[in-house]
Amino acid sequence: MRTSQTLRHLIGPIELIHEQAGGPLLIFARFGIFALWIVKLLLDPLWRLAEMLREFFQPVGILALLPASALDALLRPAMLGAFLVMTIVVCGFAMFQRWFPLASTLAAILLTAYSSLIRSFGPAVHTDIVLLLAVYALAGFAWADLIQDRFGKKPAAGGRRCSYPLVTIVAMLCLSYCLVGLNRTVAGGISVFTGDTMEAWAVDAGLRGYYFNTDIGWRIPEWPLVVFMLRSGLPVITFFEITAPLCLVWPRYRWIFIPVMLSFHLLSLVLMNIFFFDDMLLYLLLVDWSRRFPALRAG
Amino acid sequence: MTTPARARLWLPPISLVACALITVLISCVRHLSPLAVTGQAVFLIVILRAFCYWPPMIRWIVSMPVAHRVVFGVLIGCMVLGHYTLNGRTYFPFVVWEIFPFAREDDPVTCREFIATTAKGDKVRLLVEQVFPSIVQVNPLDGYSPEATEHLARALAKVYNERHADDPVRQVDLMVMAVKLHPPPGESRAQPSCELLKHYDISSGR
């Protein structure tokens, strides 16, 4: 009896994140997500892609549906610049409530094209994919609200309405981690967690360098403590990845998950030049703000 | 007098049937379905199943009007389906989620890179992701043909020189860098060991 009480005390409350979220929190989330996209776009000299060799261009996603002539036209400096400006402007409109379904849908299309474009010269890497899916969720639920208001027999459950996109975004973030962890465990097998695998990945990324280049990772074999940390850290991180869906329901787990995964992402930057700053900022949605601040609650 | 209510036929949940079927597939006819797919499917079904049994989740899903349920189902469903296509490009952004997905045993770890020499004699590393910051990542240079590698070296030098007219690049060397995963005790290097593979003269324009 006492054991079960202690266990229950340790586990703490089990409650769905953002279940009580109200309009203001959804507005903040929309604003934050589109602001993040705008910052990313403002920092990107997209027009320079016109000078990259066309022979390396292998269209990703919806770009593969376009004819070669359209892609040729798109890959000119003026067109790339115009496309960038248009995407920024549309994302700007999507930050406001007026015309949100239309503006967010247009933003989703343009951001999909943009994300496909910047991946068409290499592998379709995972940075900012969840951020793009978050735009899909915001747009999709905005249309669902509209349809429900116009054609539904009863108005959408007013109180819960704002929780739908927020819970969905958190679910997608957690699912992405979960799938990464499952893939590594099942497809990679036990050998991923033994031997030199993690050092090899880290040295490889450290040698290659990307936009961020700390020039540290290739030295890892000289540091036994870091080698130990990498080897022992991979199974731990994989465990947290697979169990990420618990973030949806278990507040105490989130307080372990957030620092562990933030440390992992920061170490990935330092040792492997890989920076998932979009995901790190999306961690703000792993805090159940509406339970802490009554002003953000529904009703 | 009321007739006794007939006991309802018990049927196992579809997800449990799916789990059992997949387990049989894995055990008996592994060659028909890759373990990477079936194994992950079992785990994922178990996780989703756990959520389906949790009352607040059910309450939340049930509270959704149909249109909202469709949006939720489509997004989560597409993510899962995209993952099982094992294809990272065609259905973007519904991609296969794989990071460090297989074991590596290469030792030493090698990597090709471009090291440029400027007119003033400085050494500069030309990274595609820095010259073209829009590009998140390119494929390793090892995978390109010699012609493509040369075209890339010249394109990088051209863009670099446009922004550094005061000290332009005169030559680009394709180097292969190597790092031993098990260096001899006490060995410490300031730079990884490197070997020249190819030399491209930029100033001649050839």
Q: What is the pLDDT of residues A228-277, one digit of tens each?
A: 999 999 999 999 999 999 999 999 999 999 999 999 999 999 999 888 88
Q: What is the pLDDT of residue A158?
A: 57
Interface of A with B in 190-249 (CB under 8 A): 191-192, 194-201, 203-204, 207-211, 213, 218, 221-222, 234, 242, 245, 248-249
Do residues B129 and A211 make contact, with C-beta atoms less than 8 angstroms apart? yes
Question: Which pLDDT tens digit goes with each residue over B138-195?
Answer: 888 888 888 999 999 999 999 999 999 999 999 999 999 999 888 877 776 767 888 9
pLDDT > 90? residue A2? no
CB atoms within 10 A of CB B113: 20
Peptide bond into A45 cis (omega under 30): no
Among A48, A119, A210, beta carbon nearest to B159? A48
The arithmetic mean of pLDDT across residues A209-219, rounded, is 86
Gap from B65 CA to chain A (nearest CA, Å): 6
pLDDT at A152: 76
Average pLDDT over residues A89-116: 95
User: Per-residue confidence at B11, pLDDT binned at 50, 70, 90?
Assistant: low
- Residue A180 or B30, more confident: A180
Kindly state the helix (H) or strand (E) to which residue B170 belongs, with its residue range.
strand B169-179
Tokens 């899909």, located at residue:
A136
Q: What is the pLDDT of residue B140?
A: 86
Residues of chain B neighbouring A203 (CB-CB closer than 8 A): 109, 179, 181
**Does residue B24 carry a pLDDT above 70?**
no
Q: How far apart are CA A249 and CA A16, in angstroms?
A: 4
A122 CB contacts (<8 Å, ≥6 apart)? A56, B135, B136, B137, B138, B139
Q: What is the pLDDT of residue B85?
A: 82
Residue B206 has pLDDT above 60, yes or no: no
Residue B198 per-residue DSSP state: E
Cα–Cα dist A211/A273, whole Å: 8
Give residue-wise pLDDT tens across range A51-102. 998 889 999 999 999 999 999 999 999 999 999 999 999 999 999 888 899 9
| Residues of B (58-87) whose Cβ lies below 8 Å from A | 60, 63-65, 67-68, 70-72, 74-76, 79-80, 83
Calculate the average pLDDT of chain B: 83
Phi, psi of B118 (to 5 degrees): -90, 175
C-alpha neighbours within 13 Å on the C-beta side of residue A225:
0
Residue A184 touches partner B, C-beta closer than 8 Å: yes
The residue of chain B with its CA nearest to that of A244 is B47
Instruction: From A27, A30, A31, A15, select the one nearest A254 (Cα to Cα).
Output: A15
**Which residues neighbour B16 within 8 Å (Cβ) at sequence distance 6 or greater?**
B49
Residue partners of A84: CB distance under 8 A and separation at least 6: A41, A44, A46, A47, A114
ipTM score above 0.95: no
pTM of the shown model: 0.90
**Helices (runs of H) and strands (runs of E) counted in chain A:** 13, 0
CA pair distance A295, A297, nearest whole angstrom: 6
Mark out the alpha helices in B53-145 (DSSP H runs).
55-63, 66-84, 128-131
The predicted structure's pLDDT at residue B29: 59
What is the radius of gyration, based on Cα positions, of chain B? 28
Query: Residue B41: closest CA among chain A residues belongs to which residue?
Result: A182
